[in-house]
Amino acid sequence: RHYLKNIEEKNPQLNVFVSVYADEALQRARQIDEKIKAGTAGKLAGLVVGLKDVICYQDHPLQAASKILDGFVSQFSATVVERLLAEDAIIIGRQNCDEFAMGSSNENSIYGATRNAADPERVPGGSSGASAVAVQADMCQLSIGSDTGGSVRQPAAFCGVIGLKPTYSRISRWGLIAYASSFDCIGLIGKSPEDIALTLEVVAGADSHDSTVSQRPVPAYAQLLQDGQTPKYRIACLREGVESEAVAPAIRQAMKASIEKLRAQGHEVEIIDFPILQYILPTYYILTTAEASSNLARYDGVRYGYRSPHATDLESLYKKTRSEGFGKEVKRRIILGTFVLSADYYDAYYTKAQRVRRIIKEQTDKLFEQYDFLLTPTTPDTAFPLGSFQDDPVKMYLADLFTVQANVVGVPAISIPAGKDEKGLPIGIQFIANRFEEEKLLKISRILL
Ligand code: GLN
């Protein structure tokens, strides 16, 4: 009732939830109360969760904030959803996002922009913008988002909450609408490392529906977070994060303050150079648009959602449905992706980007031979005003400068709140760790929070 009341009060202004499952949630809450009395309740009993509009929930609408999925209803639930429900979490509703998870501001949406609760004239980040605001504004306790290049961490930073992108393959992608399959990760947004730890251990792990999921056993993250001491870590801090003019002064300041705090507790922090940083973003945008152009080929007006009423034959059905159904940013990416995959340009762009991806991976791996973490700001700047990059998508892509590396390489990363800037806007800093070291990320977050 607490969360439903907050949704009722704040949703008209912030535009976070696009569906609210009030009756269903209350009914489940009552059943869970009974289970608690009987001592049979699951690990997440009563945890109130929101789902980004790219995650299937059986018999509930799903649209990826796109017209092209108008009227679509999921026929099955994502593996994460099934596991949440099996442990007695309560799903309260479906959250706005950027169309097909493409964007950094939550403005590319058929439902309109979501607003940042810290300043409603500003964006919450994206693409899981609403999922971050839902936690920020106490409209649910935890959100399930997706992170292909920063979509959980960047909005978490803009909204002053925690966002975890696990290792690629740690959580099943079954039931997650695909954007760029070799980058896509389900991620968690919450206010405490404990909530994230417990939820992660429930949703992670092998799944016969997704052959890319790791078979590795899932650690008891919540327990591990509680007991055991914290080792002294070796942390590499990216020089740009504390020195570059491209990073807002308040963020550099927040980085320095965190470094001091870590050093005071006996952790080692070294400022390092990572000269290939500038190649990560172009690599990301070449490969993700290529994968997106292929993944989004399935929306043809025949199988899902929207079908143009103006078509006269099969070909015009495809053309008109896609022209009318997809938004501007999605079309831009399909065209870019189709271009880099076209026969004449494949080697110059796609193959080359694959090679660069390998180099970035090797160099990141090398870093983790020496250090426990790579520390960076989550974003170069704090939340920007709505409409700032309407005519300049490439500028908006720069918001992902620090977040895309983890997805290009497939390693886990977390964004944690690190104070506010002079305008009172939240700042986030990011820790990246080696594969399957989520536990370490949760531990370092606890040290700093
Ligand atoms: N903002 C990035 C993009 O637009 C990241 C998106 C994401 O992680 N889904 O591609």
For 341-362, the pLDDT digits (tens) are: 999 999 999 999 999 999 999 9
CB contact at 8 A, 145 and 163: yes
Q: Report the pLDDT value the prediction gives residue 46, as an integer from 0 to 100.
A: 93
Determine the pLDDT at residue 399: 87
Pocket test for ligand 1, best of 66, 98, 378 (most atoms within 8 A of CB): 98
Ligand 1: nearest atom to the Cα of 126: 1
| Cα 50 to ligand 1 centre (Å) | 19
The answer for 393, left when phi > 0, alpha when psi is -120 to 50, beta otherwise, is alpha
CA atoms within 13 A on the CB side of 30: 5
Q: Looking at the CA of residue 288, tell me the nearest atom of ligand 1.
A: 10
pLDDT at 23 over 80: yes
Q: What is the average pLDDT across 237-257? A: 96
Report the separation in Å between the CA atom of 144 and the middle of ligand 1, taken as the mean of its atom positions: 15
Q: How far apart are CA 45 and CA 300, in angstroms?
A: 41
Please give the structure tokens belonging to residue 121: 């004239």
Distance 142 CA to ligand 1 centre (A): 20
Which H or E run contains 417? strand 413-420
pLDDT at 367 over 80: yes
pLDDT tens column, 120-168: 999 999 999 999 999 999 999 999 999 999 999 999 999 999 999 999 9
Q: At the fourth CATH level, which superfamily is domain 2-226? A: Amidase signature (AS) domain (3.90.1300.10)
250's tokens: 């308040």
Ligand 1 centre distance from Cα of residue 347 (Å): 24
Pocket test for ligand 1, best of 54, 128, 147, 151 (most atoms within 8 A of CB): 151
> Counting every residue, how long is the chain?
449
pLDDT attached to residue 390: 85
Residue from 66, 77, 105, 127 carrying the catalytic annotation: 127
| Single-letter residue type at 313 | D
**For residue 441, what are the contacts with CB-CB under 8 A and spacing of at least 6?**
164, 373, 412, 413, 414, 431, 433
How many Å lie between the centroid of ligand 1 and the Cα of residue 179? Answer: 9
Catalytic residue among 105, 131, 151, 258: 151
Atom of ligand 1 nearest to the CA of 399: 1
Amino acid identity for residue 232 in this structure? K
ipTM value: 0.97
Q: Where are the alpha helices (DSSP H) in 2-87?
A: 2-14, 22-38, 79-86
Tell me the CA–centroid distance for residue 211 and ligand 1, in Å.
24
Q: Span 201-207, mean pLDDT? A: 98
182 is catalytic: no
Q: What is the pLDDT of residue 343?
A: 94
Residue 229's pLDDT band (cuts 50, 70, 90)? confident
Residue to mutate, 53, 66, 102, ligand 1, most ligand atoms under 8 Å from C-beta: 102
Model confidence over 301-334: pLDDT tens digits?
Answer: 999 999 999 999 999 999 999 999 999 999 999 9
**Residue 421 Cα to chain centre, angstroms:** 23
Q: Cα separation of 32 and 416, whole Å?
A: 31
The predicted pLDDT at position 275 comes to 93
Q: What share of the chain is helix, strand, coil (3-state, %, to 5)?
A: 45, 15, 40
Peptide bond before residue 127 is cis, with ω within 30 degrees of 0 = yes
Q: Per-residue pLDDT averaged across 383-396, rounded?
A: 91
Mean pLDDT of 257-286: 96
Which of 95, 100, 288 has the most ligand 1 atoms within 8 A of CB, as the residue to mutate? 288
What's the mean pLDDT in 222-246?
92
CA 192 / ligand 1 centre spacing (Å)? 24
Mean pLDDT, residues 371-398: 93
With contact defined as beta carbons under 8 Å apart, do 440 and 433 qualify?
yes
Query: Which ligand 1 atom is at minimum distance from the Cα of 151?
Result: 8
The average confidence (pLDDT) of the chain is 97
Determine whether 423 is an active site residue: no
Confidence of residue 73 (pLDDT cuts 50, 70, 90): very high
- Determine which residue's CA is closest to atom 4 belonging to ligand 1: 103
Give the distance (Å) from ligand 1 centre to CA of residue 34. Answer: 41
Q: Atom of ligand 1 at shortest distance to CA of 404?
A: 5
Task: Give the per-residue pLDDT at 293.
Answer: 98
Q: Of 52, 165, 440, 443, which one is the catalytic site residue?
A: 52
CA separation for the pair 392, 389 (Å, rounded): 5
pLDDT at 228 over 80: no
Q: Which residues' Cβ are closer than 6 Å to ligand 1?
A: 101-104, 127, 146-151, 179, 288, 400
Atom of ligand 1 nearest to the CA of 148: 8
CB 65 within 8 A of CB 107: no
Closest residue to atom 5 of ligand 1, CA basis: 149
pLDDT digits (tens, 9 = 90+) for 32-68: 999 999 999 999 999 999 999 999 999 999 999 999 9
